[in-house]
Amino acid sequence: MTNKYNIPQMGFGTFGRTGPEGIAALQFALETGYRHLDTAQSYDTEYECGEALRRSGLPRAEVFVTTKITGVNCARSRLLPSLMKSCETLGVDRVDLTLIHWPVTPGGRLDMPAYLTELAEAQARGLTRLIGVSNFTIADLEEAKTILGPGRIANHQFERHPFLTNQKLVNYCLYNGISVTCYLPLARGVCAGDPVIEAVAKRHVATPHQIALAFSLAQGLIVIPTSGNLERIAENFAARDIRLSTEEIAAIAARNNNARQINPGWSPKWD
């Protein structure tokens, strides 16, 4: 762990991990050594996360659980009841980290003072240990700081991989003491076949996917890859042991071409 909030750097994303097959993948991830499960109200995997955690036999304190508040539940007076429901579905007294999933919806911007005030109240009530955001811009983060005060946001989750390094946003977060979680850290598999990444992988006797993960891990960032394939789940976890050189990190960073994978038409104005 390299962040002050003790958030495990290697997390397991749970989007798409539904039903019995999803529970099996989550169980295997925990057996492999993952100690960070990333879910969301909109993923419909909170139950699967809780069931896998129960079946694992691991003490609750050993597994870091993140969930995200969906847009409809950011409306005034909805956030707290929705988070209580998430905790009930997960079968936990509290989650470790609660994020606002998006600052916008297809209908427009959400009421930041309303949802951040309730998010802070959720933390005060002990429903969540840490609070944070997802898919915010620097302008959004600055606005959030005026509402909550400095140092309240523990984590920001956004798309980040070798082809979208988002370095301006990463630098802002790290300067302001906000840990960074990279979603889609494998860029949906397109790292495979890239000549630079393939060359680095060959030197390390690793896969391109492992190198993509090692790239963000080397910079102290949190990654949350996911898979339903047990071999790939273990392979991703093994990326923790890869140590890239400064030159290799720079070469991979140079592959950035702002190739954003998640970009709905109603997205905020990205940095």
In the chain, % of residues over pLDDT 70? 99
In the chain, domain spans? 12-253
Which residues partner with 127 through β-bridges?
none
Provide the pLDDT for residue 2. Answer: 62
- pLDDT tens digits along 152-186: 999 999 999 999 999 999 999 999 999 999 999 99
> How far, in Å, are 1, 115, 177, 228 from residue 102 at the CA level?
26, 11, 20, 26
Of the candidates 34, 43, 172, 183, the residue annotated as catalytic is 43
Tell me the torsion sign for CA atoms 116, 131, 23, 191: positive
Distance between CA 146 and CA 90 in Å, rounded? Answer: 32
Alpha helices in 57-207 (DSSP H): 79-90, 112-124, 138-148, 167-175, 195-204
- pLDDT tens digits along 46-65: 999 999 999 999 999 999 99
Provide the pLDDT for residue 263. Answer: 97
In the chain, % of residues over pLDDT 90? 99
Enumerate residue ranges in the chain where pLDDT < 50.
1
- Residue with the two structure tokens 């999803």: 22
Provide the pLDDT for residue 3. Answer: 85
- pLDDT tens digits along 8-31: 999 999 999 999 999 999 999 999
- Residue with the two structure tokens 């060359």: 199
The tokens describing 220, both together, are: 């102290």
Closest CA to 48 of 12, 79, 89: 89
Say whether 22 sits in a helix, a strand or coil. Answer: helix
The tokens describing 262, both together, are: 């998640």
- Catalytic-residue membership of 47: no
Give me the amino acid identity at 238: A
**Cβ contact 27:55 at 8 Å:** yes
> How far, in Å, are 58, 72, 186, 267 from residue 260 at the CA level?
36, 25, 12, 12
Provide the pLDDT for residue 11. Answer: 98
| 12-253: CATH architecture | Alpha-Beta Barrel (3.20)
